[in-house]
Amino acid sequence: MANVKVTITGLGQNFVRIQAQTIALIAERQIEAMARETEIVIQQKIQERIKRDGSTGHLARSFFTVKTTDGWGVGDIDFLNANAKQWHWLNYGIAQSGRTTPPGTNENPRIRGHFTSHTKGRFMKGSPSFPMNPTKPIEAINYIQATLNEVNGIIAKVLARG
C-alpha cells in the first residue's frame, strides 16, 4: 500500500487569520441561535406555570434575547427589575428583599381595591374596597431552573443544525 503525504505551502498568517475569523463568526451565530431557542423555552416554561386565567403574558415577554459584551443571553436583569418586578418573587418564591408573603393593605395602602368574580381573581383597584392582608407565601414556580434543565438539549439541537 502506498503512503500519501500532502503538504500545503504558501498559506501564511493570512490563512490562519481568515480561519480564526470564520470560526468566530460561526460560533457567534450558534451562540445567538442558542439564546433565541432558550428565550422560546423560558417563555413556554412561564406560560405552562400560570395558575390563574387572564394572564397578560407580560412576565414571559419580559424574558428576551439580549446581546452582551461577550456573547448573548436571555433575561436582562435591569430590565426585569424595572419592568417585571415580580420575576424574582415568582421564580424563587421570595422577594429580592427577602420577604416571602406579599404586603397587605396596612403596609401598602396603594393596593386598596376589591376582587370581583368576573375577572377570575384578578385584583381591581377602586370601590367597594376592603383590606387585603395575604398570609400565604407565594409559591416558587422555578421557571429559570426548568429552562436550565433544557439547555443541553438546546445546545445539541443548534449544533446539529450546523
Instruction: Kindly report the number of other CB atoms within 10 A of residue 144's CB atom.
Output: 19
74 burial (CB, 10 Å; 0-12 / 13-18 / 19+) is buried
Same domain, 94 and 147: yes
Same domain, 60 and 97: yes
Count up the domains in the chain and report the number: 2
What is the chain's Cα-based Rg? 25
- What is this structure's pTM? 0.74
Per-residue pLDDT at 14 exceeds 90: no
Spell out the residues 6+ positions from residue 32 whose beta carbon is closer than 8 angstroms to its own. Answer: 65, 72
Tell me the per-residue pLDDT of 62-116, one tens digit each, with 9 for 90 and over: 999 999 999 999 999 999 999 999 899 999 988 888 878 777 666 666 655 544 4
Higher pLDDT, 83 or 7: 83
pLDDT at 99: 79
Mean pLDDT, the chain, integer = 83
Helix H or strand E segment including 88:
helix 87-92
pLDDT at 91: 94
Same domain, 62 and 131: no
Angle between helices 12-48 and 151-161 in degrees, nearest 10:
140
Contact 93, 85 (CB under 8 A): no
Per-residue pLDDT at 30 exceeds 50: yes
Tell me the per-residue pLDDT of 34-52, one tens digit each, with 9 for 90 and over: 999 999 999 999 999 988 8
The DSSP string of 139-161 is: PP--HHHHHHTTHHHHHHHHHHH
Domain that residue 119 falls in = 102-135
pLDDT at 117: 42
